[in-house]
Amino acid sequence: MFLGLDVGTGGTRVVLVDKTGALIASASCEHENFRSPQPGWAEQDPQDWWRAAQKAIRDTLAQTPGAQIQAVGLTGQMHGAVMLDKNGNILRPSLIWCDQRTQPQCDWLHAQFGPGNIGREKLIELTANPALPNFTLTKLLWVRDHEPEIFARIAHVLCPKDYVRFRMTDTYAIDVQEASGTLMLDVAHRRWSSEVLKVAGIPESWLPRLFESTEECAHISFEAAELTGIPAGTPVVAGAGDQGAGAIGMGILSPGSVSATIGTSGVVFAATAAPTLDPKGRLHTFCHAVPGRWHVMGVTQSAGLSLRWLRDTFAPGIDYDELTAGAASIPPASDGLLWTPYLLGERTPHLDPEARAAFVGIHAGHTRDHFVRAVMEGVAFSLRDTFTLFSELGIPVKGVCLGGGGARGILWRQIQADIYNHTVDVLKAEEGGAFGAALLAGVGCGGWANLDEACAAAIHVANQIPPQPEAVNRYEKAYQAYRAVYPALKNIHA
């Protein structure tokens, strides 16, 4: 068996996968500690991730007595900043991926490389990405500016899943895919950027050793073996951030293969043979979890979160199936009602943490069902913005595979096919990042020769959904209107 562990935002999930690629057992444990001391701030206690990981591992292993774990792979929420002292003790709660407080530090960092757009373009040249509030480095700079007594005690910096690995193995390690989201990696050459670290004042000694995602990097310690039930000495591979591992779990390995995933956030992910840079920084360019490949991705901050917000605010207690059933009776484009899903600001394509969500075009004939459908369409329009950038940059799209909650509902599947104007694939079982981490573990210990072989064994398409020509035409007009909303409202929000 190969064990995959996913340190998510809301909880930790563990899966066991066998050598045929079948899911044998799984368990989850919710996280208990989430803090937002001020609007736009988001923090979690890393110790809570480790508590949840222990329970989820024990609960999974209890379902399969006698299972022989050949290797462990890890994945998790990206961009978090876990700060430890020289003894490995946590110095403060982790600033996680959706924390938006660091725009001043982003501006400062760009200015260190040159005035105006020159500094921004130089940083993109060095790291393949501009400075954004989500990235680990800007969080460290915020701590430097606001909590200097803590900054002075930092000896190690880790991302969330890598902190859990540290507790499992007493090893400081990170994979190049995850490290791409720190803003401290030379993505093109898959190594830490000494120039960026020097300008930012971050010692390279703080950073963990880099590995490719399938490389063995550590072994389960005796202490962790007692706490989890995984035998001491079991190999642990480097793994990947949630988007990299999720792509492996969906078979997005080769150039032209694309996934569109709607979870709390939404991501359109495309594999590439070489680093492909967006000069304006609207897309992330990262190392892929596949050695020797890269990927680009666009991110919608509030994808599934938009539908959850609508339900919790206006229809509490109603399940999603009931909420969306009525929306299926509403025509495509929701009779002119538009939703821009900027509840947490927006990354792609606006790079604007101050962007705000809006319903536009409300009239007296609109019902709750219109608002539900408009939210689902608005999320898909936002993800289509990434496809628009792919076209602009010459990134091929040969097929689209759907993942996350947006792949489970019939209506949202069809909306995506129509708005992207691509036939979309739905997998027989889309198990998320933990499944991809288990496949990485299997390759790392020799269970499969490579990731192509692992994905061929484990991943199968259940059905394909083609776009509907009439809906495509309606959505094309609605998308042009959607694209006009952000610039029209930007000054009001400012």
Catalytic residue annotation: 242
Give the up-direction half-sphere exposure of residue 304: CA atoms within 13 A in the CB hemisphere: 16
Environment class of 309 (CB within 10 Å of its CB; exposed 0-12, middle 13-18, buried 19+): middle
- Helices and strands of the chain, counted as H and E runs: 17, 24
Reported as half-sphere exposure (CB side, CA atoms, 13 A), residue 441 has a value of 31
Q: Exposure string (b/e) for 412-447, b if CB count within 10 Å is 16 or more?
A: bbbbbbbbbbbebbbbeebbbbbbbbbbbbbbbbeb
Neighbours of 461 (CB within 10 A): 12
Cβ proximity of 25 and 10 under 8 Å: no
Q: Which of 235, 238, 338 is nearest to 287 (CA)?
A: 238
- Containing 73, the helix (H) or strand (E) segment is strand 71-76
Radius of gyration of the chain (CA): 22
Distance, in Å, from the CA atom of 68 to the CA atom of 16, rounded to the nearest integer, reads 10
Distance CA 245, CA 17 (A): 14
Q: Which backbone phi and psi does 38 adopt, to 5 degrees?
A: -140, 160
Rounded Cα gap, residues 142 and 156, in angstroms: 16
Q: Kindly report the CA angle at 294 between 452 and 10, in degrees rounded to 5?
A: 85
- Alpha helices by DSSP H, 315-408: 320-325, 368-393
CB 301 within 8 A of CB 343: yes
φ and ψ at 91, to 5 degrees?
A: -90, -30
CA distance 348 to 389: 9
